[in-house]
Structure 1
Amino acid sequence: MDPADWSERVELFFGASSESMCRVYARLDTSDTDGAGDAAWKLTGSLTGPTCEYAATLPATCSLVDAGPGPMPLAKGLVPDPCYWTPSMPHLYQATVEIQRSGQTVGVVERTFGMRPLAASGRGLRFGSKSWVVRGARRETLTVDELSEWHAAEVAVLISAPDDALCEAASRQGVLLLAELTAPDRREIRRLVRWPAVGALVLPSETSSVPGGLGHNVILGQRFAFGATVHTAPWADVALCEVDSHAELPPGALDCDRPVLVIRPEEPAPSAAGARSACDRLQRDLAPRGQFAGYIV
């Protein structure tokens, strides 16, 4: 099998975590390979880090150990004193995953990995132990050279299917990406969720389901067009709804039991610094109706 094919099949994710430890897993999707579920498969590897563009670090290495027979090959490891990925301090680790079958190494996958503790909680969002509000901007395009401005402004970017070069640079520089998809394509989801910077996948409101077993540690957002009633699907972690210049909320937005991110497009598209100010204005305009999980312009 081509090395790129192995890379597409390996998923890295984290489970139980705290300030003192984080459990990390590597899983190989063998569902459509010859011998799926075969006990001859074995995963091992290592995780080395952290590194960070904005801080001196003391990297260390922990092992990923095969977890034994199961539906899919799985390796697990324990990271002591983990450093998590946040936009302000984007700590990264380098993972090496060795794929064996019947005692023979058939592939090795190298990947950048980050533990990003962003999650939906009730009607809000949390980054680790703290409540967190998204302030972001919708961009049709974004270049790697522009990322430093967005990091400095502390503004997330809502963008359609960012390519790997942008995702890699955003992961390193600390810019949170909300990646829009036109459909829940399994291969595209796998590609995007591997990047620490991709904190959410945003799908159209008409999406009925999302492939299971994908997207660990990533938020799934359901986007509603202007005027559409907000009625979240079971798969959605958050709702994104669009308002006009008067910030009139669509039906269902105030009654939604998930975090709601409100989008008010700005024309022309603001700079990174301008986007931050526009988000603050949107929050102020919506304040009489309540506080929301995010403001995007």
Structure 2
Amino acid sequence: HGEASSTIARVYARIDKPEDQEGLALSGSLEGPFRSDAHTLPARASFLACRPGESLLAEAVLPDPCLWSPDNPALYRAHLELRCGQQVLEERTIATGLRGLGVSGTDLYRHGRRCVVRAVEWTPPGDFDWTEARAAGASFLVDTPGQRLCEAASEAGVVLLVRLGGSVDQLLAAMSRLSAWPAVSIFLFSQGTDCPEDVNQRFPNLLFGEIGPLESTAAPAPWAHLSVYQLPEKTASVPSILPTGRSVMVARQGGERTDWRRGRRECDDLQRELAGSGDLAGYVVLGENNEKTPL
């Protein structure tokens, strides 16, 4: 996690401190940017240990960082070492990016500019043409994706909305595994999911949302930055009953399909139908996933 602007970025690496070991320190380096489709001039910054606390924390400072976006899918490589004195106990290399997505009022912003999500529930197969999806401004709603899919989407500049389910331990494990990938921008949970109350503190650079029927009377969870409401088939009365004062996306069933392009067009249709609903944060078309083997 960390914080970033166009002039400087502070990137933090953190792990829980083992209770039975003393003298541990976290260090390493952060190198980048890298792009799979362009030549870059990578720079390197060192991770330096911060003051001891309940966890091991290290900070790297990047001047003039490249911020990840669909227009500029720049990645960095973090090489981390867990040391006890001069002995390296464990080391790991992680790909990551500076995604900069946040909520202000009813809107989503990426690096200070308002953005609108247009997502299709569809899992890209291994031979997927990510370039076409990025050019179409498409995002994808996927269930607990694998590392290869997240890597491909991050390199291509395509946003993923990730829907998670399971026990609290399973949710935390999945978020820890996926949170470094910049394409993974929003985690979605079904209304009523037992999510840890401190999830925003654990993952401060991620957005969390609830997805459920528009007719639900349940109050939004305190940890949710946004709500995704599944619309009825007839949307004539929707503008008058959508909640106000918070970031809202709308979702509608799109039926069975094998082509994400149709779903992307249906996002535009939904936006036109709800033009009188004010500024919505995004439009999601739900449907059965394709049957090809995902990444």
Question: TM-score normalized by structure 2?
Answer: 0.88
Residues 121 and 89 of structure 1: CA distance in aligned 2, closer, same or farther (over 3 Å):
same
Give the whole-Å Cα distance in 2 for the aligned partners of 1:286 and 1:29. Answer: 46
Shift of 1:241: 0.6
SS in 1 for 2:127: helix
Shift of 1:207: 1.8
**Match of residue 208, structure 2, among 215, 220, 236:** 220
Give the whole-Å Cα distance in 2 for the aligned partners of 1:235 and 1:273. Answer: 33
Give the whole-Å Cα distance in 2 for the aligned partners of 1:217 and 1:158. Answer: 19
Partner of 1:8: none
Task: Indicate whether 1:87 and 2:70 are aligned.
Answer: yes
The answer on whether the counterparts of 2:240 and 2:277 sit within 8 Å (CA) in structure 1 is no
Task: Indicate whether 1:35 and 2:23 are aligned.
Answer: no
Residues 218 and 160 of structure 1: CA distance in aligned 2, closer, same or farther (over 3 Å):
same
Residues 99 and 69 of structure 1: CA distance in aligned 2, closer, same or farther (over 3 Å):
same
User: What is the number of equivalent residue pairs in this alignment?
Assistant: 279
Partner of 1:155: 138
Shift of 1:231: 2.5
**Match of residue 289, structure 1, among 263, 277, 291:** 277
**Match of residue 170, structure 1, among 125, 134, 153:** 153
SS in 1 for 2:152: helix
1:86-143 CA distance string (max 9 Å, x none): 122210011101111244210111010101011111111001010111111112x321
Unpaired stretches in structure 2, ≥5 consecutive residues = 286-295
**Match of residue 236, structure 1, among 224, 231, 250:** 224
Matched letter for residue 198 of structure 1: V
**Match of residue 51, structure 1, among 34, 38, 49:** 34
Partner of 1:143: 125
**Match of residue 8, structure 2, among 4, 16, 21:** 21
The answer on whether the counterparts of 1:44 and 1:99 sit within 8 Å (CA) in structure 2 is yes
Partner of 2:98: 115
Residues 113 and 150 of structure 1: CA distance in aligned 2, closer, same or farther (over 3 Å):
same
Partner of 2:264: 276
Partner of 2:293: none
Task: Indicate whether 1:193 and 2:179 are aligned.
Answer: yes
Residues 233 and 249 of structure 1: CA distance in aligned 2, closer, same or farther (over 3 Å):
farther
Matched letter for residue 277 of structure 1: R
Question: TM-score normalized by structure 1?
Answer: 0.87
Residues 189 and 253 of structure 1: CA distance in aligned 2, closer, same or farther (over 3 Å):
farther
Give the whole-Å Cα distance in 2 for the aligned partners of 1:146 and 1:249. Answer: 38
Residues 147 and 166 of structure 1: CA distance in aligned 2, closer, same or farther (over 3 Å):
farther
Name the % identity.
34
SS in 2 for 1:144: coil
Give the whole-Å Cα distance in 2 for the aligned partners of 1:136 and 1:152. Answer: 14
Q: Which one scores higher on RCO, CA 8 angstroms, separation ≥ 6?
A: 2
Give the whole-Å Cα distance in 2 for the aligned partners of 1:234 and 1:211. Answer: 8
Shift of 1:147: 4.6
Give the whole-Å Cα distance in 1 for the aligned partners of 2:125 and 2:188. Answer: 20
RMSD of the alignment, in Å? Answer: 2.1
